[in-house]
Amino acid sequence: MAFSRSIARFSRDRRGNIAVIFALVLVPLISAVGCAVDYSRANALRSKLQAAADAASVGAVSRTSPAYVAAGAMSGDGVISSGADDALRIFNGNLNGLTGYTLASSSATVTKASDVVTSQVTFSAQISTMFMKVVGMSAMAVGGTSTATASMPKYIDFYLLLDNSPSMGVGATPTDVSAMIAATANKSSDDHCAFACHDVNNKNNYYNLAKALGITTRIDVLRSATQQLMDTATATATYSNQFRMAIYDFGASAQTAGLRNLFSLSASLSSAKTAASAIDLMTVKGQNDNNDQDTSYTAIFPAINNEISSPGSGVSGSPQKYLFFVSDGVADEYNPSCLKPKTGNRCQSPINPALCKTLKDRGIKIAVLYTTYLNLPSNDWYKKWIAPFNAGPYGPSPNSEIAQNMEACASPGFYFEVSPTQGIAEAMNALFKKAVADARITS
Interatomic CA distance for residues 293 and 420, integer angstroms: 25
Q: pLDDT band at residue 437, thresholds of 50, 70 and 90?
A: confident
Q: pLDDT band at residue 339, thresholds of 50, 70 and 90?
A: confident
Report pTM.
0.74
User: Could you give the dihedral angle defined by the CA atoms of residues 352, 353, 354 and 356, in that order, rounded to the nearest 10 degrees?
Assistant: 120
372 has pLDDT over 50? yes
Interatomic CA distance for residues 369 and 406, integer angstroms: 8
Give the pLDDT score at 16: 53
Compute the half-sphere exposure of residue 246: CA atoms within 13 Å on the CB side of its CA.
18
Domain spans of the chain, in order of start: 17-151, 156-439
393 has pLDDT over 50? no
Instruction: Report the percentage of the chain scoring pLDDT > 90.
Output: 40
> Kindly report the CA angle at 221 between 201 and 372, in degrees rounded to 5?
95
| pLDDT greater at residue 260 or residue 394 | 260
pLDDT in tens, 1-21: 565 665 556 555 555 556 555
334 has pLDDT over 90? no
- What would the CATH number be for the domain defined by 156-439? 3.40.50.410
Average pLDDT, the chain: 83
Highest mean pLDDT among 23-32, 230-239, 369-378: 230-239
Q: Residue 439: phi, psi to the nearest 5? A: -60, -35
Q: pLDDT band at residue 344, thresholds of 50, 70 and 90?
A: confident
Q: pLDDT band at residue 278, thresholds of 50, 70 and 90?
A: very high
Interatomic CA distance for residues 185 and 200, integer angstroms: 20
Give the pLDDT score at 195: 64
Distances (CA, A) of 276 to 158, 161, 221, 307: 14, 12, 12, 19
Give the pLDDT score at 47: 93
Interatomic CA distance for residues 227 and 208, integer angstroms: 23
